């Protein structure tokens, strides 16, 4: 899950991917910042580069950390598009579909990714999977919660605070045939604010960081 302490190997990979992605930011850009332990490695590198960028954060945690490092974080009702967004992921499939939301920030993360001209995903190699599997993170409307869950099937509500937008954070635990079909089903269910499946079209590139500091770009 997002924000948990990774192994030394995983952390080295996350750091390498984050450092490579930080080089993609250029002066004057509007940059979206994801959420999680991989993004935590990104923020100090961006701060050290002292770029004249404005930033949008996908969670209060990222916003606080970015501000503490001196990054110019703006509310995301002020900017109508982003040049670049950088974020981690829980699963990256060979067809470039992602699962996100381990930290429950997937709604804002998807809004930011969709607004960005270039959405760059940064991961350690353990995030690469042969096929997408449950759990798929959900953000659900509190209103009608029991009915929404009954319609969706195997959903477990997380014991975490509501999202910054008041949503209930949960996970869908069913069998996944086609991610696209599941995406359609979840998107069509009233009461689902957003889910953690990110279609390939949203993703510009994935940077995989390795223990020794090397990186590979897989898309």
Stretch that binds ligand 5RP, among 30-38, 140-148, 149-157, 169-177 (CB under 6 A): 30-38
> How many CB atoms within 10 Å of residue 165?
10
What does 125-192 look like in DSSP terms, one character per residue?
A: GGGB-SS--S-EEEEE-STTHHHHHHHH-SEEE-SSPPPTTSPEEEEE-S--S-HHHHHHHHHHSTTE
Residues in 44-63 that interact with ligand 5RP by CB under 6 A: none
Question: Element (H or E) spanning 30, and its range?
Answer: strand 30-33
| Residue number closest to ligand 5RP, CB atom | 102
Residue 202 beta carbon to ligand 5RP: minimum distance, rounded to whole angstroms: 13
Give catalytic status of residue 109 as yes or no. yes
Stretch that binds ligand 5RP, among 100-108, 128-136, 165-173, 202-210 (CB under 6 A): 100-108
Question: Going by C-beta distance under 8 Å and a sequence separation of 6 or more, which residues neighbour residue 214?
Answer: 16
Q: Which is nearer to ligand 5RP, 69 or 151 (by Cβ)?
A: 69
Residue 108 touching ligand 5RP (CB under 6 A): no
Residue 28 beta carbon to ligand 5RP: minimum distance, rounded to whole angstroms: 26
**Residue 92: strand, helix, or coil:** strand
Rounded distance between C-alpha atoms, residue 19 and residue 44, angstroms: 9
Which residues face 87 on adjacent strands?
121
Residues in 113-142 that interact with ligand 5RP by CB under 6 A: none
Residue 122 beta carbon to ligand 5RP: minimum distance, rounded to whole angstroms: 8
Rounded distance between C-alpha atoms, residue 51 and residue 28, angstroms: 7
Residue 164 touching ligand 5RP (CB under 6 A): no
Residue 37 touching ligand 5RP (CB under 6 A): yes
Residue 13 touching ligand 5RP (CB under 6 A): no
CA distances (Å), origin 110, targets 4, 100, 170: 21, 9, 16
Rounded distance between C-alpha atoms, residue 20 and residue 16, angstroms: 6
Q: Annotated catalytic residue: which of 19, 63, 78, 109? A: 109
Residue 106 touching ligand 5RP (CB under 6 A): yes
**Residues at the site binding ligand 5RP, with contacts judged by CB under 6 A:** 2-3, 34-38, 87-90, 100-106, 109
């Amino acid at each position: 899950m997002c924000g948990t302490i990774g192994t030394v190997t995983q952390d080295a990979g996350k750091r390498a991917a984050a450092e490579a992605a930080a080089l993609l930011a250029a002066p004057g850009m509007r940059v979206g910042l994801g959420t999680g332990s991989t993004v935590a490695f990104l923020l100090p590198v961006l701060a050290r580069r002292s770029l004249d960028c404005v930033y949008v954060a996908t969670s209060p945690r990222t916003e606080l950390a970015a501000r503490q490092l001196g990054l110019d974080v703006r509310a995301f009702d002020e900017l109508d598009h982003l040049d670049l967004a950088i974020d981690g992921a829980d699963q990256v499939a060979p067809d470039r579909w992602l699962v996100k939301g381990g930290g429950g920030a997937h709604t804002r993360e998807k809004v930011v990714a969709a607004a960005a001209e270039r959405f760059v995903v940064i991961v350690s190699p353990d995030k690469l999977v042969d096929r997408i599997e449950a759990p798929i993170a959900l953000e659900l409307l509190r209103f009608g919660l029991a009915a929404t869950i009954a319609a969706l099937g195997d959903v477990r509500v997380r014991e975490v605070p509501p999202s910054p937008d008041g949503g209930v954070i949960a996970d869908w635990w069913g069998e996944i045939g086609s991610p696209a079909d599941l995406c359609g089903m979840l998107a069509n269910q009233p009461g689902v604010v957003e889910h953690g499946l990110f279609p390939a079209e949203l993703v510009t590139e994935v940077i995989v960081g390795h223990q020794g500091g090397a990186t590979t770009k897989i898309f």
